[in-house]
A and B are shown apart, each in its own frame.
Chain A
């Protein structure tokens, strides 16, 4: 500011600030025009679905939620409804709201960058594109009668027999007693969160002072829950494990 060094590059002559009228308003107008025309043409060509009248005595198979909730409906395969239908959506909403308060990286504010915030980009893309969008696509196109998985070329056979061979994790480890099973399952869960949290705090111990304990704690819990969903999907598909912990009140 003080010393006017000889400019290396010629400064652009275009002004940095532009009038909104006409530069933005004309863009908005054109954009609105395109969207409205597309919507109208689409609506003329494709009719909204209307099936037969609602009938509470006739349950369709499969019964599917609206398409934007099919990701949640799909994790019902791996979790009980209290988690997949209530706790998971609440965690998604609360977790999203917390993003600006957990991500204290000052870089990458107002421009596209991958290198300055790799972890943040990876976590969001994984959550959005894989756990949300990919599961929706799977739920819409690949889930058939009985919520069984069908490839696009396969016939949706309502009588498809799928062996229910899954067992609970404590059972797989030889526990046959309810109490000891519950204790074992609870220990596994506690160990997962305990070791995960401990490892994170150890690896990021230098950041503790600048980021703060509460922020780091919430961040790693949300991350562990998100990873836990993936782990449970893998355990179920790969190893036929149903629950990690079973109690008479709540099972995970």
Chain B
């Protein structure tokens, strides 16, 4: 290594290497021992117990997993895969949602026509919109099924009570994410579904103008729980902007933070539940 001068190999030597196939292992060796390679890949790919461990432990995305797990936790009959699918669908909505954000303006005059543009003129715009919407609907279903499975297996029992509570928050935020997104197409379906939904807020006891005991608080149609939510006394452009911000920034951030806690707690509570 110290004073190794590079040598030009003779043609005969080279032909020998090519004929014997040694040249390939030489090239492979040259690459895998380079600084570039060793800085990127910390371990070999040979199927050894050590590499199996390192594959999980030295990868930022995979280290969410434990290195080893109980055999029963692999069974789809036990987990239904629903938690993982919910997370995957959430990621799909994030990716497609960010793409949609490039073409969509949450303004009363533009929103609906941006959707028309997206559907008819943007390459793959319709597909992106479809994937976003169907993934969101599917996510609502899978998160319910995940919760159902967790209940049926009694997995909320000690020591996992806290994670169940986080999970209930996540179910709620899934519904809120879907509900706030429902308004954004700004069509009849969106406007009236959200009108029906947000009308409930004005029946809030004490805080809604049509709710019980509202007369003791002094709320009005323009100043109550509902107007706080939709920025006015009916679902109009201010509601569109509010729901857009809630849908794209506020709720995803909170839900994302809770997801981190949810996944971390699974590990801290001893991995996914199973018979003791």
Considering the chains assembled together, what is the distance between the CA atoms of A96 and B148 in angstroms?
11
With a cutoff of 8 Å between Cβ atoms, the chain B residues found around residue A153 in the complex are none
In the assembled complex, B186 has its CB within 8 A of some CB on chain A? yes
Please provide the chain A residues from 82 to 141 with a CB less than 8 Å away from any CB of chain B in the complex.
82, 84-87, 93, 96-97, 99-101, 103, 105-113, 117, 120-121, 124, 128
**Given A53-B186, A65-B196, A110-B275, is A86 in contact with B158 using a C-beta cutoff of 8 Å?**
no
Is A56 among interface residues, defined by CB-CB distance under 8 A?
A: yes
Write out the residue numbers on chain B whose beta carbons fall within 8 Å of the beta carbon of A101: 161
Given contacts A63-B196, A69-B179, contact A93 B212 (CB under 8 A): no
Q: Provide the residues of chain B in CB contact with A110, threshold 8 Å.
A: 153-155, 157, 273-276
Set A14, A58, A86, A108: member contacting B157, Cβ < 8 A: A108
A25 CB contact (under 8 Å) in B65, B199, B211, B273: B65
With A28-B84, A85-B203 given, is the CB distance from A50 to B115 under 8 Å? Answer: yes
How far does the alpha carbon of A67 sit from the alpha carbon of B17 in the complex, in Å?
A: 69
Q: Is the CB of B187 within 8 A of A16?
A: no
CB-based contact B157/A100 at 8 Å? yes
A177 within 8 A of B: no
Interface contact A17-B273, CB-CB below 8 Å:
no
Are B112 and A86 in contact (CB-based, < 8 A)?
no
Cβ contacts under 8 Å, B241 to chain A: none
Q: Which of A35-55 contact B (CB under 8 A)?
A: 35-36, 39-40, 42-44, 46-55
Question: Which of chain B's residues have a CB closer than 8 A to the CB of A210?
Answer: none
Q: How far is the CA of A39 from the CA of B139 in the complex (A)?
A: 11
Which residues of chain B come closer than 8 Å to A60, judged between CB atoms? Answer: 188, 192
Report whether A82 and B154 are in contact in the complex, using a CB–CB cutoff of 8 Å. Answer: no
The answer to whether A19 and B68 have CB atoms under 8 Å apart is yes
B229 at the interface (CB under 8 A from A): no
State whether the Cβ of A27 lies closer than 8 Å to any Cβ in chain B.
yes
Rounded to whole Å, the gap between the CB of A130 and the closest CB of chain B is: 13
Q: Which of A28, A39, A58, A64 lies in contact with B196, CB distance below 8 A?
A: A64
Cross-chain contact A44 with B70 (CB below 8 angstroms): no
Contact of B188 among A36, A53, A87, A96 (CB under 8 A): A53
Find A36's partner among B74, B81, B92 (CB 8 Å cutoff): B92
Tell me the chain B residues, 191-225 only, with Cβ under 8 Å from chain A.
191-193, 195-197, 199-205, 208, 210-213
Give the distance in Å from the alpha carbon of A84 to the alpha carbon of B62 in the complex: 43
B230 close to chain A: CB less than 8 A: no
Q: Is the interface of B mostly helix, strand, loop or mixed?
A: helix
Q: What is the minimal beta-carbon distance from A137 to any residue of chain B, in angstroms?
A: 13
With A24-B74, A100-B157, A112-B153 as known contacts, state yes or no: A56 contacts B236, CB within 8 Å. Answer: yes
Contact of B88 with A109 in the complex, beta carbons under 8 Å: no
Point out the residues of chain B lying under 8 angstroms from A64, CB to CB: 192-193, 196
- Does the CB pair B152–A19 fall under 8 Å? no
Contact string against B for A residues 193-230, beta-carbon threshold 8 Å, 1 for contact and 0 otherwise: 00000000000000000000000000000000000000
B228 in the interface (beta carbon within 8 A): no
Q: How large is the interface on A (under 10, 10 to 19, 20 to 34, 35 or more residues)?
A: 35 or more
Which of A16, A39, A48, A54 is in CB contact (< 8 Å) with B191?
A: A54
**Is B266 close to A, CB under 8 A?**
no
Tell me, rounded to whole Å, the shortest Cβ–Cβ distance linking B158 to chain A.
7
A109 touching B56 by the CB < 8 A rule? Answer: no
Contact A35 B89 (CB under 8 A): yes
B258 / chain A contacts, CB cutoff of 8 Å: none
Q: Please give, as numbers and ranges, the residues of chain B lying within 8 Å of A109 by CB-CB distance.
A: 154-155, 157-158, 273, 276
* B197 A66 Cβ-Cβ under 8 A: yes
B interface with A by C-beta (< 8 Å): 49, 52-53, 55-56, 62, 65-71, 73-74, 76, 78, 81, 84-85, 88-89, 92, 112, 115-116, 119, 126-127, 129-135, 137-138, 140, 144, 147-148, 151-158, 160-161, 164-165, 168, 171-172, 175, 178-179, 182, 185-193, 195-197, 199-205, 208, 210-213, 234-236, 273-276
The 4 closest A-B pairs by CB, nearest first: A85-B200, A81-B203, A100-B161, A43-B130
For this complex, 6 residue pairs linking A to B, each with C-beta atoms less than 8 Å apart, are A22-B52, A50-B115, A52-B188, A63-B196, A82-B212, A100-B156
